[in-house]
Chain A
Amino acid sequence: MFTIFGIPGPLLFGQLLLGLINGAFYAMLSLGLAVIFGLLNIINFAHGALFMMGAFVAWMLLNYAGIGYWWALLLAPLIVGAFGLVLERTLISRLYKLDHLYGLLLTFGLALVIEGLFRNEYGSSGMPYQIPSALQGATNLGFMFLPNYRGWVVVAALVVCIATWLLIEKTKLGAMLRAATENAPLVQAFGVNVPRMVTLTYAGGVALAALAGVLAAPIYSVNPNMGSSFINTVFAVVVIGGMGSIIGSVITGFGLGVIEGLTKVFYPEASATVVFVVMAIVLLTRPAGLFGKAA
């Protein structure tokens, strides 16, 4: 068996792959955040709570309606996205003229309220959610056993990230969205309903969080705090990638997953802090983030 820096090669490859899988979650969550920030200028602190709602809605669909995982992948983002739509229309839309800080405070408060309500109803220890039967089991890759479900998560996350990027960068709708963020009155003058577009963008970002929640439900504990344990890292990812940069958030998400995975091999005690060390270094050298445009 060969070794790299004293670590057996197979173990190292295994950890790299696992890092990539965790990175897939970071990428999907930071993608939604980046879309919302890029187009609405709202720092959506409720993102973790909405991720949690996605997982809970999947659990509810299964337990109250008998609807399984595959339909939940479609329905949960729609349901939570609709909830996001209501949030945007009733609360968030009132803040666009104000400083960023108000949006941050509002969404942070919303996160506390949503998590509190779920905790009150479902407790803190979590709900069981099984891996769908088609994806149970593991595949022997030679250097590690890869659970089939994890493989699916990486593929699904990559597809979603690429699709979102294509939608925003390469379609007419995306072009209008980008134009609206640059100069909303002008776009409106061309007959485009900008407020509706903004609402749908928020709902879309929220739906991405919910989709990540459904993907996470079979492998992480489905409990009201599950979002808050992710959200700090995800915000770091967004900052490193460059606020509002879609491609930046995706690449940084996967990249940081790998860095975190490697840290777990060499010095596990630091694996929770390494992301923030990277963030500090990036902010010192490139204040706008790796892929951000300087203001």
Chain B
Amino acid sequence: MTFPMTTRRALLGAAALPLATGLAAPRARAAGKPIRIGVLNDMSGPYRDTTGAMSVACTRLAVAEFAASKGLTVEVLSADHQNKPDVGAGIARQWFDRDGVDMIMDVPTSSVALAVNSVCREKNKVFINSGAATTGLTGKQCSPNTIHYTYDTWMLARSTGGNTVKAGGDTWFFITADYVFGHELEEITARFVTDAKGKVLGHSVYPFPGTTDFSSFLLAAQAAGAKVLGLANAGTDTVNCVKQAHEFGLAPAMRVAALLMTIPDVHALGLATARGLLLTESFYWNLNDRTRAFTARAKPLLGGRMANMIQAGCYAGTLHYLKAVADMGVDAARADGAAVVARMKAMPTDDDVFGPGKIRADGQLLVPSYLFEVKTPEQSKGDWDYYNLLATTEPGEAWQPMDPGCPLVKA
């Protein structure tokens, strides 16, 4: 009687794959030797608003600003991986084998990112990840062809978990999505909480996907009497949790820490509901003069919305990649992806999104992370004026120490 979601998505998938790659093919044969960047992310599913077309727009902005001034010809392609590893890896292969793509950008959803990671390594191309949360990209599965921008689970846990305990939120209750990402996020955050002399009073693990009502878990959290409710989930689940936490009047006795939430989610909730939420991003449009300058330039491309850290990270990653390509020459860059990544690691990064930074041997970009509190409607002075900055974690502290399991670390 019931159609599982997978069937529905598979139907879509069968249609989208030839479409996504087929469109790019004629251009590939017609042009000379341009650099081709493929933005691969979720164009139709749950992460469409946090990555999607705005990631493509930010990538294009970097190309428009940098490529012309250096005489580079750069083309940007995009495709929808539908959050399926097989679809993502398939598109990556076709892009490399048939369409002459040199670099893949973004790739949210950890399972897809890890699949694309190995394809890029096999084909010796460049993979700059901005969208996925897994620390695996810089851990055991780290690759000489991959750079991880923007954020990961460790960085979110460190900033939100560690700083919140310091500010007095020392007892926690977790609501956790029952899959690898949820468990990993809860586990790492709990470690920061206990390290900072805080206590975890309990957790509720709920089935993912398929849960829309979280009131039972909110009630359990209330009964436990924790000061902080940690939401180890993402997307619509987080939005539903926050909406219902507001309804059940958890605040002000309990603060809600959304362990992975970015500005489009806050926009979806509205300030009246999201007020007081704690969350971490490595970019906020109104953070400083440079982020405001970036936003002013990006605005015409973004259709009245604001970029989150992931989308802005696509700008920063593309810019740094193009700098390395310009430095090496197009032919050398196209011939050897690992050499481009090595050059990117050798050059310090500097852009309006993250400010100055550098890329570590394991491929992790080191920039500060910021703990924000969502403003109340009264505090907000205009559209998208959503965050108060609570704490900054410096690059040296913000990221997981290099994992000895990564072969690049020993080298």
**Segment at the A interface, from B46-54, B132-140, B154-162:** B46-54
Question: Considering the chains assembled together, what is the distance between the CA atoms of A94 and B248 in angstroms?
Answer: 47
Q: Which of B18-26, B62-70, B141-149, B215-223 binds A?
A: B215-223
Which residues in B have their C-beta under 8 angstroms from that of A147?
247-249
CB distance from B14 to the nearest CB of A (A): 13
Closest Cβ of chain B: how far from A2's Cβ, in Å? 15
Per-residue contact bits, chain B 2-40, to A (CB 8 Å; 1 contact, 0 not)? 111100100110000000000000000000000000000
Q: Least Cβ distance of A76 to chain B in Å?
A: 19
- B216 near A269 with CB under 8 A, answer no
Task: Point out the residue from B44, B205, B220 that lies within 8 Å of A119, measured CB to CB.
Answer: B44
Residue of A nearest to B263 (CB): A125
Asked if A171 CB lies within 8 Å of chain B CBs, one says no
Contact, CB under 8 Å: A125 / B1:
no
- Cross-chain contact B205 with A269 (CB below 8 angstroms): yes
Nearest B residue (CB) for A228: B5
Residues of chain B with a CB closer than 8 A to A276's CB: 2
Q: Nearest Cβ distance between residue B253 and chain A, in whole angstroms?
A: 11
- Per the bound structure, the CA–CA distance linking A125 and B178 in Å amounts to 21
Q: Which residues 177-230 in B have Cβ within 8 Å of A in the complex?
A: 178, 204-207, 209-213, 215-217, 219-220, 222-223
Query: Is B392 interfacial (CB-CB < 8 Å)?
Result: no
B-chain residues with CB within 8 Å of residue A149 when the two chains form the complex:
247
Cβ of B269 under 8 Å from chain A: yes
Nearest CB of B to A54, in Å: 15
A112 touching B268, Cβ below 8 Å: no
The residue that B268 contacts in the complex, of A128, A230, A232, with Cβ under 8 A, is A128
User: What secondary structure prevails in chain A residues at the interface with B?
Assistant: helix
A270 at the B interface (CB under 8 A): yes
Q: Which residue of B8, B52, B216, B248 contacts A145 across the interface (Cβ within 8 Å)?
A: B248
Chain A residues positioned under 8 Å from B2 (CB to CB): 231-232, 235-236, 276
Cα A112 to Cα B45 in complex, Å, equals: 12
Residues of B within 8 Å of A123, CB to CB, are 48-49, 52, 264
Using a CB–CB cutoff of 8 Å, the interface residues on chain B facing chain A are 1-5, 8, 11-12, 44-50, 52, 178, 204-207, 209-213, 215-217, 219-220, 222-223, 235-236, 239-240, 243-244, 247-249, 264-265, 267-270, 272-273
The answer to whether B273 and A128 have CB atoms under 8 Å apart is yes
Q: How far, in whole Å, are A108 and B7 apart by their CA atoms in the complex?
A: 12
Contact between A268 and B216, CB atoms less than 8 A apart: yes
Is the Cβ of B249 less than 8 Å from the Cβ of A138? yes
Name the 8 nearest CB pairs between A and B, nearest first.
A128-B270, A272-B207, A125-B49, A264-B216, A126-B268, A272-B210, A125-B268, A221-B239
Shortest A137–chain B CB gap in Å is 8
Known: A14-B219, A130-B273. A269 touches B178 (CB 8 A): yes
State which of A150, A261, A272 has its C-beta within 8 Å of the C-beta of B216.
A261
User: Inside 8 A of B247's CB, which chain A residues have their CB?
Assistant: 131, 147, 149-150, 218-219
The chain A residue with its CB closest to the CB of B4 is A232
Cα distance A235–B3 in the bound complex, in angstroms? 10
In the complex formed, the residue of A with least CB distance to B3 is A108
Contact A18 B236 (CB under 8 A): no
A162 within 8 A of B: no
Query: A261 to B217, alpha carbons, bound, how many Å?
Result: 10
Given A8-B223, A124-B45, A229-B210: A268 and B268 interface contact (C-beta under 8 Å): no
Q: Is the CB of B272 within 8 A of A128?
A: yes
**Do B243 and A219 touch (CB < 8 A)?**
yes
A1-41 interface bits toward B, Cβ cutoff 8 Å, 1 = contact, 0 = none = 00000001011001100100110000000000000000000
Of A10, A127, A268, the contact of B204 (CB 8 Å cutoff): A268
B209: nearest residue on chain A (CB-CB)? A229
A126-B211 in contact (CB<8A): no
B217 close to A268 (CB less than 8 A): yes
A218 CB to closest chain B CB, in angstroms? 8
Which of B205, B215, B248 neighbours the largest number of chain A CB atoms within 10 Å of its CB?
A: B215
